Amino acid sequence: MCGIAGSVGKGSIELEIKQVCDMMLHRGPDNTGIWTDENECVLGHNRLSIIDLSDAANQPFSSLGQRYTLVFNGEIYNYLELRDELGNSDFRTNSDTEVLLRAYQKWGCGMLDKLNGMFAFAIWDRKEKELFLARDRFGVKPLYYALKNDKLYFCSEIPPLFKIGIPKNPNLKVWSSYFISGKYAVGKETFWEGIELLEPGYTLNYCNGEITLKKWYDFENAIKTKQENALMNPKEYLKSLLLDATKLRFRADVPVGFNLSGGLDSSMLFSLINSQFGENSKIEAFTFYTGDDRYDELDYVQSLLKGSNFKLNPVLLSPKEVPSLAKDIALQQMEPYGGLPTIAYSKLFKVAAEKGFKVLLDGQGADESWAGYDYYFNNSNLELQGVKSSPFRPNVLTKDFRNEVKSGVVTAPFDENLLNLQYRDLFQTKLQRALRFSDRVSMQSSTELREPFLDYRLVENVFALPREMKMQGGKQKWLFREIAKDFLTGEIRLAPKRPLQTPQREWLGDELKEWVCDEALSIHSLPWFDMNEVKKELNLYFKGNKESSFHIWQWINTALIFNNA
């Protein structure tokens, strides 16, 4: 796991990319490398050493003939199998980095279909003077780009792009949509004009000043193919994929741990790990808690691990820590992020890093592919779990700003509504923002996060299952629960889906009330808000209207981004 950056175009300056890498040192503190090609291309890399810890595997990494140079963020989990396919004769390292570059040399962009991993990488072709960027199927690893002075810049995070002079102009349509309907950003758009995101499953070629974008991952066709070739014994096949996906993600030359909560997905992850690595006492588990028994799941997690060889590391988040952590995360994300759960995770990764764990696994992604959200089946238009009325407050926005809202583009590639909802959550809404939140808070502490449930083989086969295998007897994720019978007790298997719990509503209205007021009222500096309405909504909240705290968090998050950058 790393940070990558670069610029392409006449007059590319090494110092600029060095500044970018300095700002992303948290993504890879083990080595920083800068490579240049006659002021036409500069590539930068911050390395977090995970596989092959030797200096020989440092990046930027060039091919033997020096034609191609690679900077790579992520992991190729099946790199050993690909290495065998490529032939072992003249490899200089034992890294997945070299395998990735060799695969590109042999198969070109066709090698992307062979990769099982999470990745964002750039390859400079010195002969053709062409840059090739690619991002993994589901967008686990980030990649941003921008144009300035006839040069293309790319980077793993947004803030360094501001550092080198990309204007910090808010994308009003995206910000307005965020406040009115909770949309974070869709497709290649970000919250900032001129900064775009390479979409999941896409490539970008840059040559002679021209950008060419191409969708390399045809998810829709993959699903239709799976539907036409239905699994004969889906339970056993998917169980084997779950085990293999977990096993692959333990490939590392550094200590590996995992995150736990009280949910079914997290419990299944523990069982998959325990069934294959249960004798390894060096593997440790991490969970956060807040000291509030109404929300904490620490007792459950402790009982789940009872009898295993895995040590549990409980990480306490207290209210007094929230303001400082919230500010740090806001300045690194530079886009709105989730509230207290994201803040709690940030502290969890910090503790893991302090204990020497560079790699953690978690259960992210199962709900989108196995159909775990209640609104998939209850015809609700709300995307937030556990909320009965709208969590948004468009009344606090000025009329002009409300009119900026971007009309939603509904992508419906399938004939079945359930599949289209799942597709939306995978590629446009829930998963995309969750992956962004998690990538930043894990990498802020130089920790790599791996998601076994997002193994593309697993997602494709599960997504393609017929509806009755996703919902039966009023139970969502039905087949997932059936597989869980081989691992877990009935009480855990049948537990209903619920959102990740923290006392956010209570803390924002009580222990953190003064901080909330200071931050929320400071958004008066933005011409987007009717401050009289903001004050009314704050008073209603403090008087007890606390079914949702999302609108309160929106204002705090926005203030932290604009007032501290």
Per the annotation, binding residues for L-glutamine are: 96
Asked if residue 55 lies in contact with residue 68, where contact means CB atoms within 8 angstroms, the answer is: no
Output b/e per residue, 516-538; b: 16+ Cβ within 10 A: beebbebbeeeebbeeeebeebb
Element (H, E) at 43: strand 41-47
Q: Which two tokens stand for residue 131?
A: 């840059």
Which amino acid, 286?
A: F
311-316 and 61-62 as β-strands: parallel, antiparallel, unpaired?
Answer: unpaired
Dihedrals phi, psi of 118, to nearest 5 degrees? -120, 130
Q: Is 2 a catalytic residue?
A: yes
* Secondary structure E strands in 54-112: 61-62, 68-76
62-69, long-range: CB < 8 A, 24+ apart: 62/35, 63/101, 63/102, 63/105, 64/90, 66/126, 67/125, 67/126, 67/127, 68/101, 68/104, 68/105, 68/123, 68/124, 68/125, 68/126, 69/35, 69/37, 69/43, 69/123, 69/124, 69/126
Q: Which two tokens stand for residue 550?
A: 């999302």
Among 2, 21, 41, 155, the active-site one is 2
Binding-site residue positions = 96
Asked if residue 362 lies in contact with residue 349, where contact means CB atoms within 8 angstroms, the answer is: no
Give dist(CA 206, CA 270) in Å, integer. Answer: 43
Residue 20's contacts (CB-CB under 8 Å, 6 or more residues apart) are 5, 44, 155, 160, 161, 163, 164
CA angle at 58 for the pair 188 and 154, rounded to the nearest 5°:
20
Asked if residue 97 lies in contact with residue 70, where contact means CB atoms within 8 angstroms, the answer is: yes
Give dist(CA 121, CA 69) in Å, integer. Answer: 11
Output b/e per residue, 460-493; b: 16+ Cβ within 10 A: bbbbbbeeebbbeeeebbbbbbbbbeebbeeebb
Asked if residue 153 lies in contact with residue 6, where contact means CB atoms within 8 angstroms, the answer is: yes
Residue 540's contacts (CB-CB under 8 Å, 6 or more residues apart) are none
Burial of residue 558 (CB within 10 Å: 0-12, 13-18, 19+) is buried
Listing DSSP states for 228-243 in one string gives HT--SSHHHHHHHHHH
Instruction: Give the catalytic positions in this structure.
Output: 2
